[in-house]
Structure 1
Amino acid sequence: MNGPSDPRGAGLRAASHRSVVGVELRVTPAGDLVHPAIADHHVSVHAGRPVRVSCPANGAPSIRTRGEVNVFPAGVSDAWTEDDESRTVDVRVPDPLVRRVAEEMGLDPGRASIAPRYHLRDVRIEHIAWALEAERRAGFANGMLFRESLGLALAVHLLSRHRAATVPRGGLSKDQLRRVVDCVDAHLDADLSIARLAREAGVSAPHFKVLFRRAMGVPVHAYVVQRRVERAKTLLLRGGLTSGEVALQAGFAHQSHMARCMRRVLGVTPGSIARARA
């Protein structure tokens, strides 16, 4: 999926703060499309001409028109087919922001979650998305505070109007979660497995996958990829290593693998991060 490039460094600035929303205008060709499960929430607002859409999950074709909203919560993937090229304003809402807003709203941040929504009409979400896209086109001229305020407004609205049913209790304990997170961070450059992490938690592998998702709100694999991307970003900003060396130290199979994951999670390339350091 391709879209116009941001002004130099703007996309990086949008993705470098884990409490600030990111935004981009995506142009996708006709064909089969996939939204992968990622660690953050994703809001997509249709910004082009009407497009015929078919979803294998329900088999019913529909027409997506300007202003229609899709909401993909963290850890949720989906696939569909579009008959024509489409344009969308895509907003990435960091999960840490949603958790912080949930806590400030008096909700349990470990259990409050956002529900998936498709072909939704929501004027508030639409207005926020248009404002973010206008800010992107202007090179984020109004600064971080403006984008933060829009992100907060969006997170509050999603939790107020589109909150999912409460996640059942029974996730990993704080001690189990600490051991697992410490293990991930200590062995990002290794070939981590579900079995190994399950042993750290002291539970079976199938049970661990369920408990981890309840505790963190995302699948194990999505969390590990997120941590590897963050490790790679830190190493790139620090300098002194080639992109290939950074990829290996962060646990990616190769440089192209790192670039794909970084583009998907942060919306920027390793080269963008390296140029920002310079």
Structure 2
Amino acid sequence: MLQKIESAGWPMAAGLAASRRQSGVSVLHPIDAHRIVVHLSPSTRTFCRETGYAALRGIGHIDLIPSGATGGFDAETPYESLEVLLSPAVLDRAAAETGHRGGAFKFEMRHMLRNERIVHLAQAVETELLSDSPGEILYADSIGTALAIQLMGMTTLEPAQAGRLSALQLKRVTTYIDGHLDHPLTLEVLSREAGVSSSHLRAWFKAATGLTVHRYVLRRRVERARFLLLHHNLRPSEVALEVGFAHQSHLSRWMRRELGCTPSSFRKRA
């Protein structure tokens, strides 16, 4: 059942609310506001409560959860996060005021994004709502509008120029890949993220990066595996699963191609 913010213990001001959480578990019940969750702790290994997929969240990682959505994750160690609630009306008003095509804006579920401006605005929301300033409502309203505009800029696609991906489209695809290395990544999924056809993504991505989508994903998986082998006490078979390889031999084959060594020899050398 969708909870009203007030009944859930979140007092709203200018369509905004903010709270810090310190926990090892994040449980997201459906509420009538969008959530912007900013991770504040160093690298924390988390497991999605719905899919079981693992992810490594770090300071500044952002999760966007639409109004009415559920979810959450379990963390291996306690972590701290800043959760900002944004009324859908604030986003709709900002969309109308900025001439967003189609009026109301669709707030999409996304995870492990990076955007320093959104982090600063979320912290400003928290600071302002905790202050005793008589002008806090007016200022909070301006922060809410700025946050909504930033979110629209982050999740709205620029039109692709003829024959190539825009900078924002390319960033959306590469950010999605980095945030979902432990998930199956297909051209269909990534082309939806870019807002182009699969055939166009295949050609335009290679033109932009010099790599096929498949080779880029494999290279990012190897780079993530290299980091985990250096900084975490995980077995190579565990690292393989963490970065999206089906088994350790698959990881070994690609590490040998990219780095010239297997996971075991790399760790010994390091």
- The structure showing larger relative contact order (alpha-carbon pairs under 8 Å, at least 6 residues apart) is 1
Instruction: Give the TM-score normalised by structure 2.
Output: 0.49
TM-score (norm 1): 0.48
